[in-house]
């Protein structure tokens, strides 16, 4: 079993870490950080039972990884991005490839009805109004 020595610095809970990141200029809230902890891409953390704890040094390193290189204009940043030297700022465009000849989904031909309408249902259910409902008798 690997042992980890805890240094004397204070670990932060998620809400404190979010405030710390906001002070650094990144507008991340606790809920966004919780989502990033699930899907990935957020700052590294440890868990003490069920409580995620963030080390300020790891938060600083993560903030630095999100920053672009120092530039003098947005066009210079665009050139760096095209050249692939953006300092790791941008994520890959997408995992999905667009092949030549692919088009966006087309809408239904005019006059064609959706399956929900054919069954006599609305695609989005109506909200029920309680004003016109009479109280139960009995």
The range of the structural domain enclosing residue 77 comes to 9-89
Other residues' Cβ atoms within 10 Å of the Cβ of residue 51: 11
Residue 62 lies in a domain: yes
Number of structural domains found in the chain: 1
Percent of the chain with pLDDT over 70: 56
* Chain segment 55-80, per-residue pLDDT in tens: 999 999 998 888 888 888 888 888 88
**Is 64 strand, coil or helix?**
helix
Residue 113 lies in a domain: no
Residue 69 lies in a domain: yes
Residue 129 lies in a domain: no
- pLDDT average, residue stretch 75-96: 63
Question: For residue 5, with 0-12 CB atoms within 10 Å meaning exposed, 13-18 middle and 19 or more buried, which class applies?
Answer: exposed
Residue 112 lies in a domain: no
């Amino acid at each position: 079993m690997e042992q980890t020595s805890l240094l004397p610095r204070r670990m932060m809970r998620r809400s404190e870490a979010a405030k710390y990141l906001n002070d650094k200029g990144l507008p991340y809230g606790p809920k966004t950080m919780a989502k990033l902890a699930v899907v990935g891409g957020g700052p590294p953390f440890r868990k003490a039972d069920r409580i995620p704890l963030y080390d300020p040094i790891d938060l600083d390193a993560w903030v630095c990884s999100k920053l672009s290189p120092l530039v003098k204009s947005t066009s210079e940043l665009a050139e760096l991005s095209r050249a692939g030297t953006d300092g790791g700022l941008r994520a890959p465009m997408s995992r999905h490839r667009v092949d030549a000849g692919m088009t966006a989904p087309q809408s239904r031909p005019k006059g064609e009805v959706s399956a929900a309408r054919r069954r006599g249902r609305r695609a989005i259910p109506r909200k029920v109004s309680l004003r016109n409902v009479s109280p139960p008798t009995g």
